[in-house]
Structure 1
Amino acid sequence: MLETELLHPPLLAALAAAGHGDHIVIADANFPLRTATDRSVDVVHLNLRPGLVGVLDVLEPVLRAVPVEAATFMASPDGAEVEAHHDYRRALGPDVAIDVVDRWAFYDRTRAAGVAVVVATGDQRLCANVVLTVGVRAM
């Protein structure tokens, strides 16, 4: 029995297999799972229905399970502030480097080598996607 709050077996396995510099994509409900990722990357489906489960619901326990050194957010196409990013910044804390890139640059990152897992959520907020870069575990 695990003592961590993260109990989803496929997600735990993917996180355990990820190493320093690998990427974890947590995708909103609008993210094009198959065209914006390499087909060989495992997809964990947590998108039960629209609005459930949200990106923040996944982000918070993932941050307690793996060290994260950086994050990339998807910018709004019109340059507007993305409300979800405030929640993510708060959860990530001040020591995690954050980059905000346009949609096409974001998709380039999600298609690149080094993506360990993509987590599909039902988050309906626009541009609520995040890519986490796995850091180094402190001894």
Structure 2
Amino acid sequence: MLRSQLIHPEISAVLAAAGHHSTILIADGNYPALNKRGPHAKLVSMNLSPGLITVDQALRAILSAVPIEAAATMQTEVDGPYALGGDPPVWDDYRQSIKEAGLNLELTPLEKWAFYDHVITPDHVLTIQTGDQQRYANLLLTIGVRMDE
């Protein structure tokens, strides 16, 4: 029996085969997961219904299983129908989850098209499609190095 919070066999298999600098996208329910992913990336659908599961729930499971060295978000738009006046509230949830995992990581916002460009590389190994309905909830994680203390 696995001891981490991640018990999904397909996700665990991809992470076990991934290495340093591989990227994992935890996508919100609006992300175009079928066509905006790396050429070899596995797509795992975890979008049971609107709001289930959330990106933060998936993040907590991933953080329990692999070392993460970087986290990027999709930068908010400043005008138009999806504009926000600051950071989306969900980013505070990510910061809290990262802190609780004992990591000292900053979220790095990337402009929308640059975010897509970072995802569609050969380093992208996994997309977890969630049912999260919050705006700008997409999160791109970079796997780090396991360091025994």
Bucket of the pairwise TM-score, normalised by the shorter protein? over 0.9
Of 109-118 and 87-96, more deviation after overlay is shown by 87-96
Matched, 1:31 2:25: no
1:132 match: 141
2:11 match: 11
Spell out the pairing of 1:59-70 with structure 2 (5 A cutoff). Answer: 59-70=59-70
| Counterpart pick for 2:109 among 80, 84, 100 | 100
Q: How many correspondences in the alignment?
A: 139
Spell out the pairing of 1:109-120 with structure 2 (5 A cutoff). Answer: 109-120=118-129
Which consecutive residues of structure 1, in runs of 5 or more, have no partner in the other structure?
none
Amino acid at match of 1:74: M
Runs of 4+ in 1 over 6 A off after TM superposition: none
Q: CA RMSD in A?
A: 1.4
> What's the % identity of the aligned pairs?
38
Q: Which has the larger radius of gyration?
A: 2
- Alignment TM-score, normalising by the size of structure 2: 0.87
Shift of 1:66: 0.4
- Alignment TM-score, normalising by the size of structure 1: 0.93
Shift of 1:5: 2.3
| Offset from partner CA, 1:56-115 (integer Å, 9 cap, x none) | 010001101100011001111125321111111121236224311111111111111201
2:81 match: none
CA distance in 2, matches of 1:47, 1:123: 8
Shift of 1:38: 3.0
1:86 match: 92
Which consecutive residues of structure 2, in runs of 5 or more, have no partner in the other structure?
79-83
| Offset from partner CA, 1:103-131 (integer Å, 9 cap, x none) | 11111111112011000000000110000
Please say if residues 40 and 125 of structure 2, whose CA atoms lie closer than 8 Å, have aligned partners that are also in contact: no
Amino acid at match of 1:2: L
Amino acid at match of 2:98: L
